[in-house]
A and B are shown apart, each in its own frame.
Chain A
Amino acid sequence: MGESTVEAVYRRFFPVIREKCRSMLRDSDEAQDVAQETFIRLWKSGLDLEDPRRVSAWVYRTATHLSVDRIRRRAIGTEVTGVDADVEGVGTDARIHNRQLLERLASKIPQDELEVAILDRVDGLTQPESAEVLGISERTVRRMLTRLDARLAALKAEVHP
């Protein structure tokens, strides 16, 4: 710790950034791309890199935001073909399932809700953690998740009347 050359910062933080991006984006080139962009922003951010709590919250926020941006851009114009289950549950399988479902529905869900959904349902963060990462209140996190579930239920009804 304490070393602040770009190489040292890369060695210390890039693996965390990369794993976070891989969990959100199934295409590995895309994940690498977003990880690079997140790292460059971190390097440029002027953040105190000796504060792991703040850096990790910043990394989660930025990487989630950039990934959601990619997912949404890809999803625009594609048809929603199936809403087969709720975005809930824990465990690796549930998380992969959730990611795939959110990916398919990305064009139908606003940016801010998608970001909360990724943190809560794909990364498995607690609600206080999601609130900390996004800089919003826990109540807002809960409200957005409720809204997300209502939206998903409506989409489900639309696809399987």
Chain B
Amino acid sequence: MTLRQAQGQAHPSKLTLDRLALGLADAETQAHAKSCAQCSAHLEKLAVLTGGPDFVHPSRLQLDRLALGSPDAATASHAASCAQCGAHLKAVQVDLPVPQWVRDVGTSRPAAWLRWLRPMVAVGAMALVAFAVVGYRPASGPDITAKGLGTPQVQVWVNHAGKATLWSGAALVPDDAFRFEVRPGPYRHLTILELQGDRLYRVLHSAPVPSDGLSPAWAVDADGAQEDVMLLLSNAPLSDDELRRALAGEGSLWSTRWRFQKELR
């Protein structure tokens, strides 16, 4: 009998609980035990027997950190008595033979292999940076085109070597990060696209405009000569059709396009 059929009347079997305590993933039993004094007491007893303070598995990040040498006695003792977590620990601690490409990476000069890297914008790279909002100036700089109705304003903050300033239009270097500050006017929804060769490459962000007007931040990679980003304001999330029309320069959405030139060192 499963819990679903029992409609919460029956407890899971002792065997089912024991298996859960030993690390067999079982969302239903876990959910039941969380709200059932009798079953959670049984699990707690088992957890004491198996040495773990908790019958819930540690996250894989905790396991990986343990494997990489971060001391964590609770996770270690859980993994010692849990087949599933033990197997993960073993998998991330195997001794791999070193393949040739690794030796090539070690000996080749950085500039040569930087070119292998594909386009990348890393989300969140500078979300922890505090931004002082200084006197507001309308967005300006080279290669910006705005179209559409209304009076929204957008400016770009650039974080270079840990220091955030308004973008001057200067070329960015790899690891610089940028984010938009938006005064949305009458609009409520912000969509940010990455373009390549005038075509949509991907939707970087689509969400209501936050109250502080700040978008996520993206870090610049070392690939290609520029980052080409389009920012769209609307009243609701955009349909595929609206996106297509905006990219074709049609429709009445408010948009700006930003091209950040890159300078590779």
Contact = CB atoms under 8 A, between A and B. Distances in A.
Interface stretch (B24-32, B43-51, B161-169, B224-232): B24-32
B122 A62 contact: yes
Interface in A33-52: 36-37, 39-41, 43-44, 52
B98 A93 contact: no
Contacts of A147: 207
Nearest to A130: B61
B120 A56 contact: no
B67 interface: yes
B128 A60 contact: no
Interface in B58-100: 59-62, 64-65, 67-70, 84, 88, 91-96, 98
Interface residues of B, number: 50
Contacts of B102: 6-7, 10, 14, 39
Given A60-B61, A69-B120, A110-B203, A90 B27 contact: yes
Interface in B114-130: 114, 116-118, 120, 122-128
A19 B88 contact: yes
A14 B127 contact: no
A155 B26 CA distance: 28
A56 B61 contact: yes
Interface residues on A, range: 35 or more
A19 B88 CA distance: 9
A123 B25 contact: no
Q: What secondary structure prevails in chain B residues at the interface with A?
A: mixed
Interface stretch (B7-15, B105-113, B148-156): B105-113
B237 to A, nearest CB: 8
A6 B98 CA distance: 9
A21 to B, nearest CB: 12
Nearest to A93: B25
A69 B88 CA distance: 25
A22 B95 CA distance: 17
Contact of B67 (A1, A16, A40, A126): A16
B65 A94 contact: no
Contacts of B26: 91
B60 A10 contact: no
B205 A112 contact: yes
Given A11-B96, A110-B207, A125-B59, A53 B70 contact: yes
Interface in A57-78: 57, 59-62, 65-66, 69, 72-73, 76
B231 to A, nearest CB: 13
Contacts of B53: none
B123 A89 contact: no
Contacts of B124: 61, 112, 134-136
B60 A124 contact: yes
B95 A11 contact: yes
B120 A6 contact: no
A108 B68 CA distance: 36
Across chains A and B, which 10 residue pairs bring their CB atoms closest together, nearest first? A91-B25, A6-B106, A52-B68, A134-B124, A52-B70, A135-B124, A110-B206, A136-B127, A16-B92, A15-B92
9 contacts: A5-B106, A16-B67, A43-B105, A56-B65, A56-B70, A111-B204, A112-B216, A123-B60, A129-B62
